[in-house]
A and B are shown apart, each in its own frame.
Chain A
């Protein structure tokens, strides 16, 4: 199975599902979770290549989830989706080990480029 495994984590169901359909149609193996806890459970069961993580979520926040992901699976690359115009959460996320970040709402093409980059980096690290 060469297709990258991508996990979408967002509390907005419709957004997550549609995005999943769109990314899936581009030859990625896409999983989804509606909150941080669920995402962590899934990563424990099956390590992901790239996680797309919404920063603003009820319950476990995006940055908290990121910290936990890095503990469970340090090689997994995380791309943050922020709703803020400010780059402060992005900087915080980068410090916690995120690969990159995107401002929400974003262009799918932009996201795809970043997913590819993240996968590339991850693959190189694994070799």
Chain B
């Protein structure tokens, strides 16, 4: 049976390896998931804000460029228009006047103008200033020349022309009286391109211009030169209003691109910046954050494991306590059944024992008669009968102990009025006490609360203490019975006598089992050790104070509610 019980306890155990892992894993998961969630939210929030900032910057760069480029071009064009308005055709067609004008322009615009020429409507040079010998060139077939005849003013696309160097033309048509003529200037495309190309931002920010028919007007980022055609599918040349921007991937390169049409929708200004560049800051942050969160995660993990260890230790402790309680429960059940058994036996034995006692007593009575005094072996018979009596008395004491032991096993807790209980017990002995001139003095607390306890066992204890008190007094004295409510949810009961008192050396041993100062065969009540056991079991305490010649006081403290105590015995 013992083995069986043990196995059942194991199975019912709170602590198990599975529980341990279950707790550890779920705690760690909770910690890591919440950390990852926070990290993810922060990262994506930050990323979208960086994204927004980057695109806003690209758009502003595009708009700024557009302004700069258009300003530059129209300033050049307007300057040329001013020249045609300020100088007469007749003056301007003279080589030396044109040279003077060119010198001014060259100085003013930092060598942006490469050359300057005056043309008639047939495309022939009337005057020319510049590094090339272009006096005999005819431009009637040039696209820009056709355009200027129609539009009064033209800024051409970049082209290589006769000189095989990238350049573009600004031409202005002017009419003075009878004469209609054209002032033409070549703008150094490299110089112009620097306007665009020198404007860099970030590490990879880059701007370039593409003509509407797909030719680079400035150098591209990926190595295309001026006048090269845009690679197919690299750039969409559809017309649109305002600024376009988006993220895209080309040739294993992730970048943002913003573009806008400039120069009367003739050129497309494109600004690009690598995603890595834009997110560079973010990547650094991401790295730092990763380290931070990794450290946080480790810390959390360590904390979790430490907490777990503590928790599990506690669980183990509780488990052990539970096991102990279970064992004690089994133990008390065992004791209870032993108690019942012994009570039954004691009851059965009591009757024959009583008969034995009476029979031997009767024989003793007969032997005491006068006519029996002379019989042989009279003394032997008397001695033998006395021994029978004495042994029967011994058996009686055993059965009484067995009965009180069995009673001690089954505690029934109910509401008890301690004052009434004291009176009941006192009533058992009061009459007899009166015959010995022992007075009972009651000092009860009238506001004594009801307590929950085992009335039967408490009665037994009180009865025993009153009996002891009466024995201590023998004749003429007082026994004081008092009850009192304590502040700490308990009550105090005292029983004092004016008896002979207990010597100091016995006082410490008074609650020891088997300790007695009475003659053998005297006292049918419980031993003080059993009283002590009962009170402790009911969650109370019992004290004794005594002075030889003055008396003894027993003080019992009982809780209002019995505490859950482990079964003793």
Seen from chain A, the residues whose Cβ lies within 8 Å of a Cβ on chain B are 12, 14-15, 18-19, 21-22, 25, 56, 83-88, 90-91, 94-95, 99-101, 103-108, 117, 121
Most buried by B among A56, A100, A103: A103
Within B57-73, the residues touching A (CB, 8 Å) are: none
Please tell me if B428 contacts chain A, counting CB pairs below 8 Å: yes
Given A15-B358, A87-B425, 13 further pairs, Cβ under 8 A: A14-B358, A18-B362, A22-B358, A22-B362, A25-B365, A84-B403, A85-B401, A85-B407, A87-B459, A91-B424, A91-B425, A94-B424, A100-B432
Contacts of A94 in B (CB 8 A): 424, 427-428
Residues A22 and B361 in contact, CB atoms below 8 Å apart: yes
Task: Please tell me if the beta carbons of A104 and B354 are within 8 angstroms of each other in the complex.
Answer: yes
Task: Decide if the interface of chain B is mainly helix, strand, loop or mixed.
Answer: helix
Q: Is there an interface contact between B428 and A91, defined as CB atoms closer than 8 Å? A: yes
B220 within 8 A of A: no
Residue of A nearest to B350 (CB): A83
Which of A12, A99, A117 has a CB less than 8 Å from the CB of B351?
Answer: A12
Could you give, for residues 348-363 of chain B, a 1 whenever the CB lies within 8 Å of some chain A CB and a 0 otherwise?
A: 0011011101110110
Contact B355 A12 (CB under 8 A): yes
Residues from chain B with Cβ under 8 Å of A104 in the complex = 350, 354
Q: Which of B347, B354, B456 has the most CB of A within 10 A?
A: B354
Q: Are B355 and A18 in contact (CB under 8 A)?
A: yes
- Taking CB atoms, residues of chain B closer than 8 Å to A19 are 358
Contact partner of B428 (CB less than 8 A), chosen from A12, A25, A90, is A90
Residues from chain A with Cβ under 8 Å of B524 in the complex: 103
A104 vs B357: C-alpha distance in the bound complex, in angstroms? Answer: 11
* Chain B positions within 8 Å of A84 at CB level: 403
**Is B404 close to A, CB under 8 A?**
yes
Q: Is B400 an interface position by the 8 A CB rule?
A: yes
Q: Using CB atoms, name the residue of chain A closest to B389.
A: A107
A22-B358, A91-B425, A105-B354 known; A86-B403 Cβ under 8 A: yes
Q: How far is the CA of A100 from the CA of B54 in the complex (A)?
A: 108
Distance between Cα atoms of A18 and B362 in the complex (Å) = 7
For A121, the chain B residues whose CB sits under 8 A away are 431
Shortest CB distance B422–A (Å): 12
Q: State A45–B90 Cα separation when bound (angstroms).
A: 178
Nearest A residue to B406, CB-CB: A85
Q: Please judge, given known A-B contacts A22-B361, A22-B365, whether A86 and B460 are in contact too, CB under 8 Å.
A: yes
Taken together as a complex, chains A and B put the C-alpha atoms of A35 and B425 apart, in Å, by 28
Check B392 for interface membership: any CB of A closer than 8 A: yes
Contact of A86 with B432 at beta-carbon distance under 8 Å, contacts A18-B362, A22-B365, A91-B425 already known: no
Within 8 A of A (CB), among B376-409: 392-393, 396, 400-404, 407
User: Does residue B463 face the partner (Cβ distance < 8 Å to A)?
Assistant: yes
How distant is the Cα of A19 from the Cα of B360 in the complex, in angstroms? 11
User: Residues of B contacting A101 with CB < 8 Å?
Assistant: 428
* Residues in A neighbouring B459, C-beta threshold 8 A: 87-88, 91
With A12-B355, A85-B400 given, is the CB distance from A105 to B427 under 8 Å? no
Cβ-defined contact, B428 with A14, below 8 A? no
Q: Are A87 and B358 in contact (CB under 8 A)?
A: no
Q: Are B396 and A83 in contact (CB under 8 A)?
A: no
User: Is B435 an interface position by the 8 A CB rule?
Assistant: yes
A104 to B361, CA, bound (A): 15
**A18 to chain B: which residues have CB within 8 Å?**
355, 358-359, 361-362
What would be 15 A-B contacts, judged by CB atoms less than 8 Å apart?
A14-B358, A14-B359, A15-B355, A18-B359, A21-B365, A86-B460, A87-B428, A87-B463, A91-B424, A91-B427, A94-B424, A103-B524, A105-B358, A105-B392, A108-B361
Instruction: Report the minimum CB–CB distance from A81 to chain B (whole Å).
Output: 9
**B427: which A residues are within 8 A, CB to CB?**
91, 94
Give the docked Cα–Cα distance between A84 and B405 (Å): 11
| Cα-based distance from A104 to B350 in the complex (angstroms) | 7
Which of B425, B428, B459 has the most C-beta atoms of chain A within 10 angstroms of its own C-beta?
A: B428
**In the docked arrangement, what's the CA distance between A108 and B358, Å?**
8
The residue in chain B whose Cβ has the minimal distance to the Cβ of A16 is B358
Q: In the assembled complex, which residues on chain A have CB atoms less than 8 Å from the CB atom of B428? A: 87, 90-91, 94, 101
- Bound-state Cα–Cα, A14 to B352, Å: 9
CB distance from A22 to the nearest CB of B (A): 5
Judge whether B361 and A105 touch: CB under 8 Å: no
Residue of B nearest to A114 (CB): B432
Query: Would you call B361 and A15 a contact (CB within 8 A)?
Result: no
Inter-chain CA distance A21–B366, complex, in Å, is: 10
The smallest C-beta distance from A23 to any residue of chain B, in angstroms, reads 10
- In the complex, the chain B residue whose C-beta lies closest to that of A18 is B358
Query: Using Cβ atoms and an 8 Å threshold, which residues of chain B touch A100?
Result: 431-432
Contacting residues, chain A, for B432 (C-beta < 8 A): 100, 117
CB within 8 Å of A: which of B425-451?
Answer: 425, 427-428, 431-432, 435
Contacts of B402 in A (CB 8 A): 85
**How many Å from the CB of A115 to the closest CB on chain B?**
13
Give A69 Cβ to nearest chain B Cβ, in Å. 18
Q: How far is B365's CA from A25's CA once the two chains are assembled, in angstroms?
A: 8
Docked CA distance A87–B421 (Å): 12
- The reply to whether A14 and B355 form a contact with Cβ atoms under 8 Å apart is yes
A44 to B524, CA, bound (A): 35
Q: Which residue of B lies closest to A17 (CB)?
A: B358
- The 5 tightest CB contacts between A and B, nearest first, are A85-B403, A105-B354, A18-B358, A85-B404, A15-B355
B179 to chain A, nearest CB (A): 147
Q: Which residues of the partner chain A approach B393 to less than 8 Å between Cβ atoms?
A: 107
| Bound CA–CA A104/B459 (angstroms) | 19
Provide the bound-state CA to CA distance between A88 and B456, in Å.
7
**Which chain A residues lie closer than 8 Å to B396 at the CB level?**
105
Q: Roughly how many angstroms separate A107 CA and B358 CA in the complex, as a whole number?
A: 9
Question: Cβ of A21: which chain B residues have Cβ within 8 Å of it?
Answer: 362, 365
For A106, the chain B residues whose CB sits under 8 A away are 354
Closest chain A CB from B247 CB (angstroms): 95
A110 nearest in chain B by CB position: B524
Residue of A nearest to B404 (CB): A85
Q: How far is the CB of A62 from chain B (nearest CB, A)?
A: 14
Chain A residues near B359 (CB, 8 Å)? 14, 18
Contact of B347 among A25, A83, A88, A90 (CB under 8 A): A83
Q: Using Cβ atoms and an 8 Å threshold, which residues of chain A touch B350?
A: 83, 104-105
Alpha-carbon distance between A123 and B78 when the two chains are bound, in angstroms:
154
Most chain A CB atoms below 10 A, which of B347, B351, B353, B365: B351
